Structure 1
Amino acid sequence: MKHPYRHFTVFSTIMPILIIIVTIVSISFGTKPIPGNTIVEAILHFDKENVDHQIIWSGRIPRVLAVLFVGAFLAAAGAIMQGVTRNFLASPSIMGVTDGSAFFITMAFVFLPGLSSFQLVLISMLGSLFGGALVFGFASIIKNGLSPVRLAIIGTVIGTFISSIGTAIAMYHQISQTITMWYNSKVHTVEMELIYLCVPIGLIGLALAILISRAVTITALGEEVAVSLGQKTRTVKVLSMLAVAILTGTAVALVGKIAFVGLVVPHIVRMLMGVDYRMIIPCSAVLGAFFLSACDLISRYVNFPFETPVGVVTALIGVPFFLYLIRRKGGEKYAA
């Protein structure tokens, strides 16, 4: 246990500094150059008549906050899923959770127009539960369906199927442009009011994830071991799925679908911290915040002055990592 705690000390010292740096850079640089003193004035003495101040408060600060919290939420959700399912390929984007959330939002736009932002967040959470339940339910009736690679394939197929249905319905009802914003990550249009609504709900999910982290560690040892230690595995799984639904649902409602954050980040943290989810979950949230913020910053300059969707950057990192995991571990079960 000596090495993980040593790594934790270094991690907890370096990561806040890196997050502060990427936040400052994200606020400072954009399509329109804004002097540093103007940025400080906008933060300390906001003037609604000043165009530069409006850009800072209505565009850059909401965007920075959104990617920080969404990265934290998706990484924590991925850590929980990998621990509870004991599947090293588990993540919201691969297991149908994100697709289910986006699908329900599409249905809400089509059949329940005029819903409030709060109602859309709730719909998004229900969609997360639906997507996850559909994938795991289907996998449970197939021979070896819960093995890592097969579950990933099932999740990808069902997620693509759900997404395709949602896209077809949106096109038929001529709202495909509105829905595209949700599917292709809308970090550049996020509003502060939505952050005020979504972030507190997501923080509830993150708090729940941290509260059950010890139970997740025990569950990751295996069903038989967990039961022998007095673990109520069904209760843990229900609470874990609830936490994942809250975290993923708020993330999708806030910025749309962003893949691979929940896959890549928990693996990196596990290599540094060991197998104790009391450390993995909160550290995944911190690293996830930095990871997505850095990806968002990169996405602005890949094709400057035009923006590349941040999901493209996360995919460029996540897909090779996904293939690496399959090649290295094959069909093995995740071992805590």
Structure 2
Amino acid sequence: MFSKVPSGHRDAVRSFWLVGLFALLGLLVVLSIVVGTRDVGTDDIWAALNGQTETIGQSAIAVRIPRMVLAVLAGGALALAGAVMQGVTRNPLADPGILGVNSGASLAVVLGVAWFGISSPEAYFWSALLGAAVTTLFVYAVGSLGPGGATPLKLTLAGAATSVACVSLFIAVILPLNDIAGGIQTWLIGGVGGATFHRIVPVLPFFAAGLLISLLSAHKLNSLALGDDLAAGLGDNVALSRIIASVGAVLLCAAATALCGPIIFLGLMVPHLLRLMTGVDYRWLLPLSTLGGACFLLFADTLGRVVARPDEIEVSIITALFGAPIFIWIVRRQKVREL
């Protein structure tokens, strides 16, 4: 998009988007705390921020704050993971949900709850990490079969088939278990409701590790975008670069899925739209995607609390409503070719 635009102008445009997304995130954080099924006043907000929960309004704010934090963490993690996966696979359709990574992580958590009785945030994370890693390897192996290697179309089809298989398996596991079926089915919808700092804090190191690894992979992803042969000619170890970047993406997917359940399309649409507006330099695209994902999930959560008052619509439903049309548009526009 910016191939004929001076470099200084490109950086100015990207800086504008970076500052704009920071400002938007701040606004959405405030709205996420203020807006909900119950209206609250300024006094309630300040009192809740000081740890008071004496009134209903103060209690509502105390519930919304960890929910807001989780939306920021999960949204940023999933969008960043999607951008990294698109760079690693050179696949414009890459997304933790579409490639089956979220479904694999969810299946592992369901099996852990049903067969081993796991309940702690750490156990949820390690189960999700194992499922996400195994699914990533499986989808890439299946998508690499046949002539042409791991093409975008084959990876997408392999991911879709894997997702369907995982969904069928965890439904088969859940149905006979009436004692846990309700809680697990609610978690499988995908949302940030019911978030608590007790569950968020133990997973924070894994969010941080995934974020650091992914952001440090930006230069390698720029090299991979030139093609494997040219990247190797520039002195990069192509296989090692892919593995390291994928580790960061899998950590982020596992952490977000362990806390929120599967949320699809966010990692597809946010990086893709930002790539159209700011260019393909991953040194900019990765932090922009992180901010954009946090903004979008906060927006989706706030919207879900408003449109169906006094009930709520989970964020995964909102992201699907926005993401499905964008997914179709990307398929038609890209004709499923490589990035």
**Does TM-score exceed 0.5, indicating one fold?**
yes
- 2:199 counterpart of 1:205: no
What aligned pairs does 1:176-215 form with structure 2 within 5 A after superposition?
A: 176-215=181-220
Question: What are the ranges of 5 or more consecutive residues in structure 1 without an aligned counterpart?
Answer: none
Per-residue displacement from partner, 1:2-52 (whole Å, max 9, x unpaired)? 332111221122112211111111111211221122112211x32244443
User: Across the two proteins, how many residue pairs are aligned to each other?
Assistant: 332
* Corresponding position of 1:2: 8
Return closer, same or farther for 1:272/1:2 CA change in 2, 3 Å cut-off: farther
How far did 1:200 drift?
2.9
Deviation larger for 261-270 or 174-183: 174-183
SS at match of 1:187: coil
* Corresponding position of 2:4: none
* Corresponding position of 2:38: 32
How far did 1:166 drift?
0.9
Question: What are the ranges of 5 or more consecutive residues in structure 2 without an aligned counterpart?
Answer: 1-6
One-letter amino acid of the counterpart of residue 87, structure 1: N
Per-residue displacement from partner, 1:177-222 (whole Å, max 9, x unpaired)? 1221221113111111111122332121001111111111101211
The 2-side partners of 1:29 and 1:64 are apart by 11
What aligned pairs does 1:32-71 form with structure 2 within 5 A after superposition?
A: 32-43=38-49, 45-57=50-62, 59-71=63-75
One-letter amino acid of the counterpart of residue 96, structure 2: P
* Corresponding position of 2:170: 166
Is contact 1:149–1:326 with CA below 8 Å preserved after alignment? no
The 1-side partners of 2:176 and 2:133 are apart by 26
* Corresponding position of 1:314: 319
The 2-side partners of 1:48 and 1:303 are apart by 26
The 2-side partners of 1:322 and 1:186 are apart by 21
Q: 1:82 aligns with which of 79, 86, 102?
A: 86
TM-score (norm 2): 0.94
Q: 1:256 aligns with which of 258, 261, 264?
A: 261
Deviation larger for 138-147 or 230-239: 138-147
RMSD across aligned positions (CA): 1.5
How far did 1:231 drift?
0.7
TM-score (norm 1): 0.94
The 2-side partners of 1:26 and 1:4 are apart by 32
The 2-side partners of 1:136 and 1:189 are apart by 34
How far did 1:60 drift?
0.4
The 1-side partners of 2:149 and 2:246 are apart by 19
- 2:237 counterpart of 1:218: no
Deviation larger for 99-108 or 147-156: 147-156
- Among the aligned pairs, what percent are the same residue? 30
Per-residue displacement from partner, 1:151-197 (whole Å, max 9, x unpaired)? 21221121111111011111123332122122111311111111112
Q: 1:301 aligns with which of 297, 306, 309?
A: 306
The 2-side partners of 1:114 and 1:139 are apart by 32
